[in-house]
């Protein structure tokens, strides 16, 4: 038995590696345990059951017999497991949510049918019922502004400092998922950002997730000597080719109790994992996710990046915080969200078919009784610096919001405790905000017709309210820590032109509608690669 096996005997065990023939790894259901504990069970050419072990401790823990033991390095163990179960794991990555919650995936929506029906109703109202059209749409804008105003005020009045967990020997393993695709120019930067994380390196479990045909990114990784806490995972080609599918594929291999998502260009606060852990340790069990703030290190590049930075400040510093404080569904950011792994698995991971997987996951967390907490920690990202790239990225986000609201409309009846106020919040925050971008040109166009005076007065009041609200927010964000006279020329321009930034959202919304009809699951890749801002 194991008690007769010592370290010297362990070193003399027969060795297996990637070149060893006729190895059939058994029991896919144990794959996460295999990764966490460093062993696997396999059958040899004679049909005999054997154990491959990467460390002496697993022999004692599992009380294994000496007779059928083989030694293997950690790298070879990982590689053999990935090779053995890649097909099964790909299927799980694509279909796990559908298996767990039938109907909850965006792939089950008939987008052409729904969009066609919406278009018919929209244009019938626009052409034949102009007064009703104007009334309804003015109330849509009023509802959005009132809700966002309430969230903004709630976010302002609830600012708090996030404290940090002290580092000790009992720190849990923390997994970090970094999906990469055509990111060869950002490898050095993200490796440096991960090195700078203030967390015990022996408790870090970082996964670089690469598409297996992304040759340039793989080459860029290979020229760097990776520390032992970084593991490269190659995702086999399959459709849909999306970030959430890649994340699902990697979840099989995570070893941590907690997991966080970072993008290739991310520069997280070095203490972010400690702040998230502190929050998890002190929040009630129902808090399954902690979201950090996002903003841009290239916000001063041009007017577009400054607009984007103001928008992100509004979104992460106030609106999402307001949603969390008011116990409403939180649409997560696409990065720097930290999860309890067991809760993430319970709700079905990410939807491989939703191109804004963060919003969908935030709603699904809430539907399953879990909450999100915002921490005062920031991750700096790279904003698109030209309009076509920005529009492509925003069209994907809007397309994902459309997917999310359609799935919500279909599945909300399955959740008995979701009250009417929370349902309306999702419709307003996710559905109507997307609709309003699309609707804006038509709302302006019909004003050229002969309409009753009350329509014009309502439109005028709504416009004054909307512009006042937008300018107030931009002014507050830009002058939060200084006077208005200290603003740069770029910031003055951003403040003056701020409402017109949302015309780009309207252009993006039309592209999103076209894409959701033509290719609903296609992922618009945002290129990165400005100069490395890490110092």
Q: 534 pLDDT band (50/70/90 cuts)? A: very low
Burial annotation 226-255 (CB, 10 A radius, 16+ → b, else e): eeebbbbbbbeebebbbbbbbbbbbbbbbb
Q: Is residue 312 over pLDDT 90?
A: yes
**Mean pLDDT, residues 77-93 taken together:** 95
Average pLDDT of the chain? 90
Q: Is residue 379 over pLDDT 90?
A: yes
Q: Is residue 462 over pLDDT 90?
A: no
Q: Is residue 59 over pLDDT 90?
A: no
Angle between helical axes of 387-411 and 357-367 (0-180°, round to 10)? 30
Query: Would you state the pLDDT for residue 85?
Result: 95
- Per-domain boundaries in the chain: 2-100, 103-169+263-535
Closest CA to 240 of 526, 510, 520, 532: 520
Better-scored residue on pLDDT, 372 or 526: 372
The number of CA neighbours under 13 Å toward the Cβ of 508 is 26
Distance CA 495, CA 492 (A): 5
Query: Would you state the pLDDT for residue 400?
Result: 95
Distance CA 391, CA 97 (A): 29
* Edge-to-edge strands, sheet with 204-211: 230-235, 204-211, 174-180, 258-261, 337-340, 287-296, 371-381, 267-268
Interval 401-413: pLDDT, tens:
999 999 988 876 6
Distance CA 345, CA 250 (A): 12
Q: 128 pLDDT band (50/70/90 cuts)? A: confident
Distance CA 354, CA 397 (A): 10
Query: Would you state the pLDDT for residue 530?
Result: 56
Interval 8-27: pLDDT, tens:
777 788 899 999 988 999 99
Contact 206, 266 (CB under 8 A): no
Closest CA to 258 of 190, 344, 334: 344
Structure tokens at 79: 């590689």
Q: 502 pLDDT band (50/70/90 cuts)? A: very high
Residues sharing a CB contact under 8 Å with residue 343, sequence separation 6 or more, in sequence order: 288, 289, 365, 370
Q: Is residue 533 over pLDDT 60?
A: no
Better-scored residue on pLDDT, 430 or 231: 231
Contact 42, 25 (CB under 8 A): yes
Contact 216, 182 (CB under 8 A): yes
**Mean pLDDT, residues 209-236 taken together:** 95
Q: Is residue 47 over pLDDT 50?
A: yes
Interval 239-270: pLDDT, tens:
999 999 999 999 999 999 999 999 999 999 99
Closest CA to 258 of 345, 362, 335, 195: 345
Better-scored residue on pLDDT, 533 or 101: 101
Q: For residue 374, count other CB atoms closer than 10 A to its CB.
A: 26
Q: Is residue 105 over pLDDT 90?
A: yes
Residues sharing a CB contact under 8 Å with residue 103, sequence separation 6 or more, in sequence order: 410, 411
Q: Is residue 464 over pLDDT 90?
A: no
Contact 177, 207 (CB under 8 A): yes
Q: Is residue 176 over pLDDT 90?
A: yes
Burial annotation 496-519 (CB, 10 A radius, 16+ → b, else e): eebeebeebbebbbebbbebbeee
- Cis amide leading into 240 (omega within 30): yes
With a pLDDT cut of 90, the percent of the chain lying above it is 66
Query: Would you state the pLDDT for residue 418?
Result: 67
Residue 177: which H helix or E strand, with range?
Answer: strand 174-180
Q: Is residue 414 over pLDDT 70?
A: no
Question: How far are the Cα atoms of 61, 63, 112 from residue 2, in angstroms, in the given order?
Answer: 9, 5, 62
Q: Is residue 510 over pLDDT 80?
A: yes
**Mean pLDDT, residues 438-461 taken together:** 82
| Phi and psi angles of residue 132, each rounded to the nearest 5 degrees, phi first | -60, -40
Better-scored residue on pLDDT, 531 or 85: 85
**Mean pLDDT, residues 132-152 taken together:** 86
Query: Would you state the pLDDT for residue 3?
Result: 47
Q: Is residue 311 over pLDDT 90?
A: yes
Better-scored residue on pLDDT, 460 or 373: 373
Interval 345-356: pLDDT, tens:
999 999 999 999
Query: Would you state the pLDDT for residue 263?
Result: 96
Helices (H), 129-200: 130-156, 187-195
**Mean pLDDT, residues 203-208 taken together:** 98
The burial of 168, by beta-carbon neighbours within 10 Å (0-12 exposed, 13-18 middle, 19 or more buried), is given as: exposed
Q: 486 pLDDT band (50/70/90 cuts)? A: very high
């Amino acid at each position: 038995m194991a008690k007769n096996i010592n370290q010297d005997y362990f070193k003399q065990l027969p060795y297996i590696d990637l070149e060893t023939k006729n190895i059939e790894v058994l029991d896919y259901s144990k794959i996460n345990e295999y990764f966490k504990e460093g062993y696997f069970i396999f059958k040899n050419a004679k049909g005999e059951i054997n154990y491959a072990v990467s460390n002496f401790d697993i022999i004692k823990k599992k009380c294994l017999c000496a007779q059928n033991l083989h030694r293997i390095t950690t790298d070879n163990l990982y590689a053999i497991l990935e090779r053995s179960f890649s097909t099964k794991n790909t299927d799980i990555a694509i279909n796990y949510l559908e298996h767990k919650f039938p109907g909850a995936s965006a792939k089950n929506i008939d987008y052409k049918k729904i969009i066609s029906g919406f278009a018919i109703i929209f244009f019938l109202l626009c052409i034949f019922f102009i007064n009703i059209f104007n009334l309804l749409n003015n109330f849509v804008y009023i509802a959005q502004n009132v809700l966002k105003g309430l969230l903004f005020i709630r976010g302002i009045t609830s600012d708090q400092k996030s404290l940090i967990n002290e580092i000790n020997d009992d720190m849990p393993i923390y997994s970090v998922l970094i999906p990469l695709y055509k990111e060869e120019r950002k490898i050095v930067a993200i490796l440096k950002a991960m090195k700078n994380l203030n967390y015990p390196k022996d408790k870090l479990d970082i996964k670089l997730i690469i598409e297996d045909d992304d040759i340039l990114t793989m080459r860029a990784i290979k020229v760097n000597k990776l520390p032992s806490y970084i593991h490269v995972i190659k995702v086999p080609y399959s459709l849909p080719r999306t970030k959430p599918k890649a994340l699902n594929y990697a979840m099989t291999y995570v070893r941590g109790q907690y997991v966080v998502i970072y993008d290739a260009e991310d520069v997280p606060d070095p203490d972010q994992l400690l702040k998230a852990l502190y929050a998890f340790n002190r929040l009630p069990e129902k808090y399954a996710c902690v979201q950090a703030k996002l903003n841009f290190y290239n916000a001063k590049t041009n007017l577009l990046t400054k607009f984007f930075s103001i928008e992100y400040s509004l979104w992460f510093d106030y609106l999402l915080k307001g949603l969390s404080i008011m116990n409403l569904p939180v649409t997560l950011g696409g990065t720097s969200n930290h999860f309890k792994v067991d809760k993430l698995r319970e709700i079905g991971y990410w939807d491989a078919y939703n191109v804004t997987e963060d919003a969908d996951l935030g709603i699904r967390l809430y539907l399953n009784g879990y909450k999100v907490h915002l921490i005062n920690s920031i991750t700096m990202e790279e904003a698109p610096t030209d309009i076509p790239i920005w529009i492509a990225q925003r069209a994907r986000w809007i397309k994902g919001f459309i997917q999310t609201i359609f799935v919500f409309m279909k599945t909300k009846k399955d959740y008995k405790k979701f009250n009417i106020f929370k349902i309306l919040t999702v419709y307003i925050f996710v559905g109507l905000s997307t609709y309003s971008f699309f609707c804006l040109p038509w709302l302006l166009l019909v004003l050229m017709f002969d309409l009753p005076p009350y329509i014009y007065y309502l439109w005028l009041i709504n416009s004054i309210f909307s512009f006042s609200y937008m300018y107030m927010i931009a002014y507050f964000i830009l002058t939060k820590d200084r006077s208005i006279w200290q603003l740069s020329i770029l910031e003055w321009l951003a403040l003056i032109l701020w409402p017109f930034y949302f015309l780009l959202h309207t252009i993006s919304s039309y592209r999103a509608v076209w894409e959701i009809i033509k290719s609903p699951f296609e992922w618009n890749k945002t290129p990165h690669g400005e100069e490395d801002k890490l110092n």
